[in-house]
Amino acid sequence: MARVAIVTGGTRGIGRAICEHLKADGFTVVANYAGNEDAARQAGEELGIATYKWDVGDHQACLDGCERVAKEVGPVDVVVNNAGITRDGTLHRMSFEDWNEVMRINLGGCFNMAKACFPGMRERGWGRIVNIGSINGQAGQYGQVNYAAAKSGIHGFTKALAQEGAKFGVTVNAIAPGYIDTDMVAAVPPAVLEKIVARIPVGRLGQAHEIARGVSFLCSEDAGFVTGSTLSINGGQHMY
């Protein structure tokens, strides 16, 4: 039977591309989403995957949502923690809510999903967790103390959980995307984005499928010896 993979924030952008690649790899793919019903319907229909709505920043919602997926689709063997938001602004303008919401969803979501799915993977002796970090968690970014802290936290979370999963056949890795051509990056003011792109050695934004390709490898059978690693896919913008 095909293994079941959940991709959070899986109906748009990078998440949707990840769903597409994992489906092509033979997984039964479930996309979680937070609110955009049109995008969810479209992804569900076009990719032929099930979509489930819950807020990954809500601990109980993750436990309940993953339990429903396990009952209705099958035990979850792969989790891709992709869901994330930005609330950019310099520290002196950033509200506590902007700080807290980014930490709750971007970093809290990884903990909540792992709490829901890691125990089953551990018991069954096989699992793959891939956390989507960011170049801005590695290098920092002006106007992103919240996002950089959450993404940096994801990189630490990955290395710690990798140590716990290793002897149970559960690998935990991260991908650190650079600036990818998605709605999130399109929200950066054009003049700022122009300056950022000028600093990318490859000379362009990345494409969502270039991140998905990396996720696909980390979720494969072949990647069983890769754990606790961070794969940077950023056009050479930051060499870590």
Would you name the residues annotated as active-site residues?
147
What is the chain's percent helix, strand, coil content, to nearest 5?
A: 50, 15, 30
Residue 155: CB minimum distance to ligand CAA, A = 12
The pattern of x and - marking residues 132 through 171 that bind ligand CAA according to CB under 6 A reads --xxx----xxxx--x------------------------
98 binds ligand CAA (CB under 6 A): no
CA 145 to chain centre: 19
Alpha helices in 144-203 (DSSP H): 145-165, 183-186, 190-198
60 binds ligand CAA (CB under 6 A): no
106 binds ligand CAA (CB under 6 A): no
Residue 112: CB minimum distance to ligand CAA, A = 20
Cβ-count burial 23-49 (b if 16+ within 10 Å, e if not): bebebbbbbbbbeeeebbeebbeebeb
Q: Which two tokens stand for residue 5?
A: 């993979």
179 binds ligand CAA (CB under 6 A): yes
Q: What is the DSSP letter of 206?
A: B
- Indicate which single residue of 107, 175, 185, 212 sits in contact with ligand CAA (rule: CB under 6 A): 185
Binding residues vs ligand CAA (CB under 6 A): 86, 88-90, 134-136, 141-144, 147, 177, 179, 184-185, 188-189, 192
